[in-house]
């Protein structure tokens, strides 16, 4: 609960003026002090009124009211009276109850007092919406005022994989070996149909770390269900050892509700996250202030730490000047820009974070406090500014305050240092002179005219009402106070707007029962308080334009991330290798970015092969739909059958029959194929081996990331439009293309810098066979890699379990992959009944092999070289022996030049020898 700091002298002064018969409008100093206006009482849901029925989620409710001075109404700042309200739930609560109220009101920082409404039962995804109500009764001067508002409980439908959320960069002073840090982590999963809402599964998992310096304590479950796993991290650095440390934290599934000891046999890994420990300390603090911040502007894994979302950074005033104008009657949030540098290494790249709250290390204050009615809170940094009438009563000399942010390095040690910054706040008039409607996504279409398409995506547009105040420059704006803004559409045939009042944000969506055809609507925002009445409009075109094609692209070149292409093959590396700084650039490892582009009916006539090859070209009718909510990426164990195959699809069974001419047997006719064990038949292997070797991130849309420390397998990637929010079903639009991603462990940083280029170069070899007439599809080697990986991948996963940086048996792994003799690594591991990659390739392509008629005239240069190439490539790509490429120099391919084209693998940095030209099938 926040403390009122409005000086008593102001109240007395206002009382004297009233007693003397003063008058005037709301800006006059001789008006009585305003008080709560019961007619304006309202229940507010700051994070929305849809509660995910997961059994653990919660939403917040609060009772708010404007003020009146007896003459003028609708005066700010809005008062929070949640703590003085009696609360009850009503509607379809059910038995057992599907929701409950928290036992007590809590202080939620910038949101001030809130009451949590908690989901208590997990609903089935096929359940129906539950309509409930919350009632608040507020007593004032002998009268009880009752307010009731509806809210809904939404059956949860998960989207994407679970992921770990929390700090990914933690800094330590390298000169202070005693330093410790605290961080909190959660296991989350996105929910479809509820943008920005996640399901918290932290309480059902055990968190583990690959480094003993990073230790997790017992999971904390607050009353609102937002569980988190707290970690204590010790300084890993010394004066002589300042190399960045990468720690992999994993969440493993609890067994029947009981925690599973880290490293125990049979532990099921759910998700992993790389956390970088860097040698650095805060060297600079810069303070900025946000007026009327968004409800989620400051958030964190727990209430102990809140970081400012950089998407709102443009609204944080003061980073480029020392004085900020703040209108009376507004809410304010102070934010600290923290710059981390290494005092012992001036060439180390700085790291910048934005933080609202950091108990013990970050403190807030202001001098004097005459411009505040609440705060600034010493921990949260939030505050309320005095009302317009109080502003008018303040002498000009008292309308400024100096806000201060103080950060303490190396807390609790003899070496702690304090660094701070100040920001001058100038209180100005609360009169609003203009309002503007802007898009929340920052898009600025011509003539401020927006387009909402009536199609399967069902996407709307989010808007924000921005206000210009009397003492502002004409171009300067801040988010309007929410309680004074209302919204309306002049035409609701095709579009709807919600919320319609008491919100500075709104969303315009297509209607489910939209009138057919195109139409135009005008969105109007109106700002009305006791001293201002202004409005603005924006034109929205509703266009009936369905999707006719969906295409899958990826960033094939890591050094040109903005260039995308249709690519049937790529690779990713180990998740525990991270970006290093080289030539001023950060290189991200271990992931591959995919994108989806759609062709709409309106652009069908403009479509061409050139635009398909370059969807970002000027005039292209293809639209990037990657971030549309209903666009879903999928990654399945297996491989893509080929864009040119008769029925392009993901193949997820080991060693299927090869497509093509009659009489060519499939791999299932190889000796020993029927002896390939299922994953559940291999003793002692973790169950994670049955999961895809890579999955899409729950935080970065379209980012495919490898799972686990050491994997070798393939995954098949596609994307589809979930037209009915129930997962993939018949009738959903699917990308016409797919892609096979080879997941490789790579121990060499330089190799990973060029991983995309290597994969592009190797594509003709690894898809060998896919371009022969009658054999269009995934080729020969990719199915082999996947088949062998059904045994190799679980073995590699077992070898990597709890790996703390120790030696991995690289030579044995490579030999086993080529020969299939996995028992040479560990006698308990099974050998492959169909041999290794080298043996199986020979079986298909060697003398007398089933495919020898297809490669007549080529066997002299393919049979032995292909086996050598496959073995050598695996050896090098595993990152365990990069020098193995030099073994290819003695192979002559002169006899193959009429069929195979030359192409060169680029020179690798870091001293790796130049690589020779390797023949391969030309890409069509």
Q: How many CA atoms lie within 13 A of 604 on its CB side?
A: 9
Both 370 and 297 in one domain: the answer is yes
- Please tell me the predicted confidence (pLDDT) of residue 839: 54
Looking at the 3D structure of the chain, how many domains does it have? 6
Q: Strand 400-409 and strand 417-428: pairing?
A: antiparallel
- Please tell me the predicted confidence (pLDDT) of residue 626: 95
Name the pLDDT band for 31 (thresholds 50, 70, 90): low
Both 178 and 126 in one domain: the answer is no
Mean pLDDT, range 30-37, rounded to an integer:
79
In a domain, 511, yes or no: yes
Name the pLDDT band for 836 (thresholds 50, 70, 90): low
Mean residue pLDDT across the chain: 78
- Please tell me the predicted confidence (pLDDT) of residue 86: 98
Mean pLDDT, range 161-171, rounded to an integer:
91
In a domain, 449, yes or no: yes
State yes or no: pLDDT of 140 exceeds 90: yes
Say if residue 25 is exposed, middle or buried (CB neighbours under 10 Å; 0-12, 13-18, 19+): middle
Both 741 and 775 in one domain: the answer is yes
CA angle 119, 122, 123 (to 5 degrees): 110
In a domain, 782, yes or no: yes
Greatest Cα pair distance, the chain, in angstroms, is 112
Q: Strand 449-454 and strand 533-544: pairing?
A: parallel
The answer to whether the bond into 339 is cis (omega within 30° of 0) is no
Both 538 and 609 in one domain: the answer is no
Question: Looking at 259, 279, 299, which one is the last position of a domain?
Answer: 279
- Please tell me the predicted confidence (pLDDT) of residue 866: 41
In a domain, 682, yes or no: no
Lowest mean pLDDT among 16-30, 394-408, 504-518: 16-30
What radius of gyration do the chain's Cα atoms show?
31
Q: Alpha carbon 32 to chain centroid distance? A: 50
SS3 365: strand
- Please tell me the predicted confidence (pLDDT) of residue 312: 94
| 345-371 residues labelled b (16+ CB within 10 A) or e (exposed) | eeebeebebbbbbbeebbbbbbeebbb
State yes or no: pLDDT of 764 exceeds 70: no
Both 424 and 441 in one domain: the answer is no
- Please tell me the predicted confidence (pLDDT) of residue 710: 59
Could you identify the residue written with the tokens 């005693």?
A: 178
Q: Could you tell me which of 394, 390, 363 has the C-alpha nearest to residue 374?
A: 390
State yes or no: pLDDT of 749 exceeds 70: no
In a domain, 48, yes or no: yes
pLDDT tens profile 640-670: 887 777 778 888 765 444 333 233 333 344 3
The CATH number of the domain holding residue 265 is 2.60.40
What is the rounded distance in angstroms from the CA atom of residue 900 to the CA atom of residue 887?
Answer: 20
Structural domain for 145, as ranges: 35-154
- Please tell me the predicted confidence (pLDDT) of residue 435: 97
The answer to whether the bond into 421 is cis (omega within 30° of 0) is no
Beta bridge partner(s), residue 660: none
Name the pLDDT band for 14 (thresholds 50, 70, 90): very low
Contact call for residues 58 and 117 (beta carbons, < 8 A):
yes
Both 724 and 612 in one domain: the answer is yes
**Range list of β-strands (E), 499-588:** 505-510, 519-528, 533-544, 547-554, 569-572, 581-582, 585-586
| 841-856 residues labelled b (16+ CB within 10 A) or e (exposed) | bbbbbbeebbbeebbe
Contact call for residues 741 and 571 (beta carbons, < 8 A):
yes
Both 617 and 751 in one domain: the answer is yes
Give the count of beta carbons closer than 10 Å to the beta carbon of residue 700. Answer: 12
Lowest mean pLDDT among 451-465, 707-721, 818-832, 855-869: 855-869
State yes or no: pLDDT of 174 exceeds 80: yes
In a domain, 60, yes or no: yes
What are the backbone dihedrals phi and psi of residue 297, each rounded to the nearest 5 degrees, phi first?
Answer: -60, -40
Contact call for residues 176 and 236 (beta carbons, < 8 A):
no
Lowest mean pLDDT among 83-92, 360-369, 477-486, 664-673: 664-673
State yes or no: pLDDT of 224 exceeds 50: yes
Region label for 835, one of left (φ > 0), alpha (ψ between -120 and 50) or beta (otherwise): left
859-877 and 837-845 are packed helices; what angle lies between their axes, rounded to 10 degrees?
Answer: 160
Q: Could you tell me which of 257, 425, 436, 441 has the C-alpha nearest to residue 326?
A: 425
- Please tell me the predicted confidence (pLDDT) of residue 889: 39
Question: Looking at 135, 154, 173, which one is the last position of a domain?
Answer: 154
- Please tell me the predicted confidence (pLDDT) of residue 795: 64
What is the rounded distance in angstroms from the CA atom of residue 190 to the CA atom of residue 208?
Answer: 22
State yes or no: pLDDT of 12 exceeds 80: no
In a domain, 77, yes or no: yes
- Please tell me the predicted confidence (pLDDT) of residue 864: 40
The CATH number of the domain holding residue 466 is 2.60.40.10
Tell me the range of 177-186, 461-470, 858-867, 886-895 where mean pLDDT is highest: 461-470
Question: Looking at 430, 463, 483, which one is the last position of a domain?
Answer: 430
- Please tell me the predicted confidence (pLDDT) of residue 665: 35
- Please tell me the predicted confidence (pLDDT) of residue 148: 98
What is the rounded distance in angstroms from the CA atom of residue 778 to the CA atom of residue 739?
Answer: 10
pLDDT tens profile 364-380: 999 999 999 999 999 99
The CATH number of the domain holding residue 109 is 2.60.40.60
Both 261 and 203 in one domain: the answer is yes
Both 612 and 732 in one domain: the answer is yes
Q: Strand 733-734 and strand 713-721: pairing?
A: antiparallel
In a domain, 51, yes or no: yes
Contact call for residues 717 and 638 (beta carbons, < 8 A):
no
Q: In what order do the strands lie in the sheet containing 245-253?
A: 169-172, 269-279, 245-253, 205-209
- Please tell me the predicted confidence (pLDDT) of residue 512: 87
pLDDT tens profile 312-352: 999 999 999 999 999 999 999 999 999 999 988 888 999 99
DSSP secondary structure string, 122-185?
BPPTTSPPEEEEEEEEEEETTEEEEEEEEEEEEPP-EEEEEEEEE-SEEEE-TT-TT-EEEEEE
Q: Which two tokens stand for residue 191?
A: 């929910």
- Please tell me the predicted confidence (pLDDT) of residue 299: 84
User: Taking the model in full, what pTM does it have?
Assistant: 0.76
What is the rounded distance in angstroms from the CA atom of residue 328 to the CA atom of residue 478?
Answer: 13
Region label for 536, one of left (φ > 0), alpha (ψ between -120 and 50) or beta (otherwise): beta
- Please tell me the predicted confidence (pLDDT) of residue 268: 81
- Please tell me the predicted confidence (pLDDT) of residue 379: 94
- Please tell me the predicted confidence (pLDDT) of residue 587: 31
Q: Which helix (H) or strand (E) holds 11?
A: helix 8-19
Both 328 and 388 in one domain: the answer is yes
Q: Percentage of the chain with pLDDT > 90?
A: 48
Both 729 and 593 in one domain: the answer is yes
Contact call for residues 266 and 146 (beta carbons, < 8 A):
no
Both 417 and 288 in one domain: the answer is yes
Name the pLDDT band for 575 (thresholds 50, 70, 90): very low
């Amino acid at each position: 609960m926040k403390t009122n700091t409005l000086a008593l002298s102001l109240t007395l002064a206002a009382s004297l003026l009233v007693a003397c018969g003063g008058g005037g409008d709301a800006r006059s100093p001789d008006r009585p002090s305003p008080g709560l206006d019961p007619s304006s009482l309202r229940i507010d849901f700051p994070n929305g009124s849809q509660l995910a029925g997961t059994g653990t989620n919660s939403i917040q409710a609060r009772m708010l009211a404007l003020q009146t001075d007896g003459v003028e109404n609708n005066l700010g700042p809005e008062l929070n009276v949640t703590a003085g309200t009696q609360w009850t739930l009503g509607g379809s609560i059910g038995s057992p109850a599907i929701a409950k109220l928290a036992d007590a009101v809590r202080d939620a920082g910038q949101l001030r007092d809130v009451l949590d409404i908690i989901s208590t039962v997990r609903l089935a995804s096929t359940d129906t919406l539950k309509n409930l109500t919350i009632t608040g009764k507020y007593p004032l001067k002998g009268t009880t005022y009752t307010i009731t508002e509806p809210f809904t409980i939404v059956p949860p439908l998960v989207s994407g994989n679970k992921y770990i959320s929390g700090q990914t960069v933690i800094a330590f002073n390298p000169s202070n070996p005693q330093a410790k840090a605290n961080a909190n982590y959660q296991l989350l999963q996105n929910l479809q149909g509820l943008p920005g809402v996640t399901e918290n599964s932290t309480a059902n998992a055990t968190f583990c770390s690959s480094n003993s310096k990073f230790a997790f304590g017992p999971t904390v479950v607050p009353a609102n269900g937002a569980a988190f796993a707290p970690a204590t991290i010790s300084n890993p650095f010394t004066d002589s050892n300042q190399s960045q440390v990468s720690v992999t934290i994993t969440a493993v599934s609890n067994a029947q509700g009981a925690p599973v000891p880290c490293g125990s046999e049979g532990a099921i890994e759910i998700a992993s996250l790389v956390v970088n420990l860097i040698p650095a300390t805060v060297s600079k603090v810069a303070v900025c202030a946000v007026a009327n911040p968004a409800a989620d502007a400051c958030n964190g894994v727990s209430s102990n730490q809140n970081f400012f979302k950089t998407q709102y950074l443009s609204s944080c005033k003061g980073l480029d000047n020392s004085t900020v104008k703040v209108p009376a009657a507004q809410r304010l949030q102070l934010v600290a820009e923290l710059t981390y540098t290494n005092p012992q290494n001036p060439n180390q790249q700085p790291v910048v974070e934005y933080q609202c709250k950091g108990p013990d290390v970050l403190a807030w204050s202001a001098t004097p406090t005459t411009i505040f009615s609440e705060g600034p809170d010493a921990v949260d940094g939030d505050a309320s500014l005095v009302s317009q009438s109080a502003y008018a009563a303040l002498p000009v000399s008292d309308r400024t305050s100096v806000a201060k942010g103080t950060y303490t390095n190396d807390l609790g040690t003899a070496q702690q240092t304090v660094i701070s910054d100040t920001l001058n706040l100038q209180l100005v008039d609360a009169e609003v002179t203009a309002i503007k409607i802007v898009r929340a996504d920052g898009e600025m279409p011509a003539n401020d005219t927006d387009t909402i398409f009536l199609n399967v995506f069902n996407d709307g547009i989010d808007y924000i009402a921005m206000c210009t105040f009397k003492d502002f420059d004409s171009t300067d704006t801040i988010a309007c106070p929410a309680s004074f803004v209302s919204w309306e559409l002049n035409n609701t045939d095709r579009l709807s707007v919600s919320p319609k009042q008491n919100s500075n944000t709104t969303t315009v969506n297509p209607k489910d029962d939209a009138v057919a055809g195109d139409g135009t609507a005008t969105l109007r925002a109106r700002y009305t308080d006791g001293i201002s009445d202004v409005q603005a409009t924006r034109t929205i075109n509703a266009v009936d334009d369905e999707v006719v094609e969906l295409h899958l692209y990826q960033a094939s070149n890591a050094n040109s991330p903005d260039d995308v292409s249709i690519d049937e093959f790529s690779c990713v590396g180990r998740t525990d290798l991270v970006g290093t700084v080289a030539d001023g650039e950060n290189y991200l490892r271990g992931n591959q970015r995919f994108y989806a582009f759609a062709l709409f009916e309106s652009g069908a006539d403009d479509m061409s092969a050139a635009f398909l090859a370059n969807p970002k070209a000027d005039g292209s009718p293809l639209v990037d739909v990657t971030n549309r909510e209903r666009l879903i990426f999928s990654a399945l164990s297996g491989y893509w059958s080929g864009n040119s195959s008769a029925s392009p699809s993901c193949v997820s069974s080991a060693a299927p029959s090869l497509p093509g001419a009659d009489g060519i047997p499939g791999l299932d006719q190889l000796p020993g194929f029927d002896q390939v064990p299922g994953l559940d038949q291999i003793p002692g292997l973790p169950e994670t081996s049955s999961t895809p070797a890579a999955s899409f991130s729950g935080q970065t849309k379209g980012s495919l990331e490898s799972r686990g420390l050491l994997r070798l397998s393939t995954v098949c990637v596609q994307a589809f439009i979930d037209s009915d929010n129930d997962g993939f079903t018949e009738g959903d639009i699917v990308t016409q293309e797919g892609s096979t991603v080879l997941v490789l462990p790579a121990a060499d940083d330089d190799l990973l810098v060029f991983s995309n280029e290597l994969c592009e170069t190797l594509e003709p070899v690894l898809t060998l066979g896919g371009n022969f007439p009658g054999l269009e599809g995934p080729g020969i080697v990719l199915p082999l890699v996947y088949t062998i990986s059904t045994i190799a991948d679980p073995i590699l996963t077992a070898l990597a379990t709890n790996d703390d940086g120790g030696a991995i048996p690289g030579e044995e792994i490579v030999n086993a992959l080529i020969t299939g003799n996995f028992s040479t690594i560990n006698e308990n591991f099974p050998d492959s009944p169909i041999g290794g990659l080298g043996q199986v390739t020979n079986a298909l392509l060697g003398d007398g092999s089933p495919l020898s008629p297809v490669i007549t005239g080529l066997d002299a240069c393919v049979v032995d070289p292909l086996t050598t190439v496959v073995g050598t490539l695996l050896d090098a790509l595993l990152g365990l022996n990069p020098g193995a490429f030099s073994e290819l120099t003695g192979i002559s391919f002169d006899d193959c030049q009429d069929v195979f084209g030359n192409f060169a693998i680029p020179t690798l940095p870091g001293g790796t020898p130049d690589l020779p030209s390797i023949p391969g099938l030309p890409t069509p």
